[in-house]
Amino acid sequence: MSLLIKNGTIVTAVDEFTGDIYIKDGKIAALGDHLSVQADDTVDASGRYVLPGGVDQHVHYTFDFKGENVRGFETSNAPVAGGTTTVVEFINQEQGKGIAETIEKFDREEFANQAMVDYSFHGVVCDPTDETFEEISTLPEKGISTVKLFMAYKGMPMHSDDESIFKALRAAKEAGVTVMVHAENADVIDYLQKEQLDRGNTEPYYHAESRPPLVELEATQRVIKLAQMADAPVYIVHVTAKEVMESIRSANEDGAPVYGETCIQYLMLDKEALAEPNFGGAKYVCSPALRTKEDQEALWEAVNKGWLNVVSTDHCGFNWAKQKHMGIEAFTDIPNGSPGVQDRLGILWTYGVNTGKISRQRLVDLYATTPAKNNGMDHCKGHIGIGYDADIVLYDPKPTSIFTNENSLHGVDFNVYEGMEQKGKVDKVFLRGKLMVDEGEFIGEMGDGKFINSKPYGLCYEGEAYDFSYKARA
């Protein structure tokens, strides 16, 4: 099976050129100007941008919040329709089970049959035993090279204390496993939540009031110091606020292997959305909370300059009519997380590239190339180059439409970008050479997606010492 994609404007993280891509057996086999090859099929990509398929390193298809489950992989056509061909899913370790054991169950029973997108996993440490910390260094053998710890959710099984984080950092470092952290001070949040409820402040808006930027800043600074003491790299997920971004930036500029991502909702929405009447604000309840327009501007600058290296979605398919309404009496019972996995490329194109905030190359880097590298998938994903998987998006810059839940495949009853304009659209998407989206319509099948091995040392290169050079100043 071979395919030739001709005359497109090919965009990578570093360049842009008009040319042809020859695909054989699901991989990119040749790149060039007017390739003279015979292919089984030919697609003329004139007038369209040819991008590597996106890699969303932060999605939730198995998350549960106080017993409410998100939509699962039966809705994994949504990322592909929006130009994302690989997702990395967080799997919460089950009590008494190993991280890999918990993950294997999902891969065998659920994901393998339903996947319409390629996928890999982050293991979430939930059972902080000696066995769990010992297991961390063996995870890369099973194709898992990232673990996540949550500092944010007091009283829930996934919550971790400093001791667990420190032990995980120590164990992970040895094997090149990357530790990702959701950084918010859970004790302070718990106190502030109770204080708001005692005052009768039960509406969604108080979600943001009870998780101010300082709780995110304190935890971020703490985990940077924990990583410094463990002499290990660390990755901060879903950064929302200017000062948090700046603390990551300055640690990194001091030579520390500290990195972070943000998500499209933090670039696009502010906390006033939480005040939408008639419980509409619940749609925007995610943690950390939405911030201000000033933070949005700072985050756009940060992703442009590389102070944050990835834009993800933190996609959570909770519906509003039933699941978000769990919190009608108290905002603390609203399931945390919002959908967005289909909208990432369209948002970054329309509000990043089209406004001049980022270049097309920068978009490709933020949405595909660096997330693939962070997660040890840069041997096959995130780039248009010879030998890479033929995960390719044809983006047509001409049409204009709106983001609306009517066109969303995420399987819930709202879209947080409802009514916003989109410039251009995803025209075709190939997953390892197979056409999955044609003229914007998803035509793939369940089972088309497959598990991708993540290799260790995603945040540096094997053999390279992690360098906390500012350690000396302590």
Binding region for ligand URP (CB under 6 A): 60, 63, 182, 286-287, 314, 316, 336-337
Q: Specify the DSSP element, H or E, that contains 133.
A: helix 130-136
- What is the chain's Cα-based Rg? 21
C-alpha to C-alpha distance for 210 and 194, rounded to whole angstroms: 9
Could you tell me which stretch among 104-112, 310-318, 390-398, 438-446 binds Zn ion (CB under 5 A)? 310-318
Determine if 271 is a binding residue for Zn ion (CB under 5 A): no
User: What angle do helix axes 242-253 and 213-230 make, rounded to 10 degrees?
Assistant: 20
Find which of Zn ion, ligand URP, none residue 89 binds, CB within 5 to 8 Å per kind. Answer: none
Residues 6+ apart with CB under 8 A from 297: none
> Segment contacting Zn ion (CB under 5 A): 176-184, 215-223, 347-355, 420-428?
176-184
Residues paired with residue 441 on neighbouring β-strands, in sequence order:
438
Nearer to ligand URP, 182 or 242 (CB): 182
Member of 122, 167, 170, 182 binding Zn ion (CB under 5 A): 182
Strands 434-438, 441-442: pairing is: antiparallel
Nearer to ligand URP, 29 or 55 (CB): 55
CB of 73 to ligand URP, least distance (A): 16
Residues in contact with 389: Cβ distance below 8 Å, sequence separation at least 6, in sequence order: 26, 27, 28, 53, 118, 380, 381, 432
SS3 readout for 431-474: ECCEEEEECCEECCCCCCCCECCCCCCCCCCCCCCCCCHHHHHC
Shortest reach from residue 60's CB to Zn ion, in Å: 6
Residue 381 as a binder of Zn ion (CB under 5 A): the answer is: no
Judged by CB under 5 A, the number of residues near Zn ion is: 3
442 binds, among Zn ion, ligand URP, none (CB under 5 to 8 A by kind): none
Map residue 263 onto helix, strand or coil.
strand
Q: Minimal distance in Å, beta carbon 424 to ligand URP? A: 28
Give the nearer residue to Zn ion in terms of CB position, either 216 or 314.
314
216: contact with Zn ion by CB under 5 A: no
Q: Which does 286 bind (CB under 5 to 8 A by kind): ligand URP, Zn ion, none?
A: ligand URP
Nearer to Zn ion, 182 or 425 (CB): 182
Q: Which does 316 bind (CB under 5 to 8 A by kind): Zn ion, ligand URP, none?
A: ligand URP
Dist. CA 448–CA 411, nearest whole Å: 19
Which amino acid, 337? G
Q: Does 314 help bind Zn ion (rule: CB under 5 A)?
A: yes
Q: Which is nearer to ligand URP, 58 or 362 (CB)?
A: 58
- By beta-carbon proximity to ligand URP, the closer residue of 10 and 59 is 59
- Using the rule CB under 5 A, give the single segment among 246-254, 259-267, 376-384, 407-415 that binds Zn ion: 376-384
Nearest to 326 by CA among 267, 279, 360, 259: 279
**Cβ-contact 55, 381 below 8 angstroms:** yes
The nearer residue to ligand URP, 287 or 296, going by C-beta atoms, is: 287
Nearer to ligand URP, 103 or 263 (CB): 263
Sheet of 310-312, strand order: 310-312, 258-263, 234-236, 178-182, 146-150, 118-124, 84-92, 54-60, 315-316
Shortest distance in whole angstroms from residue 106 CB to ligand URP: 16
Helical (H) or strand (E) element with 214: helix 213-230
Question: Choosing among Zn ion, ligand URP, none, which partner's interface includes residue 63 (Cβ < 5 to 8 Å by kind)?
Answer: ligand URP
Interacting residue ranges for Zn ion, rule: CB under 5 A: 182, 314, 378
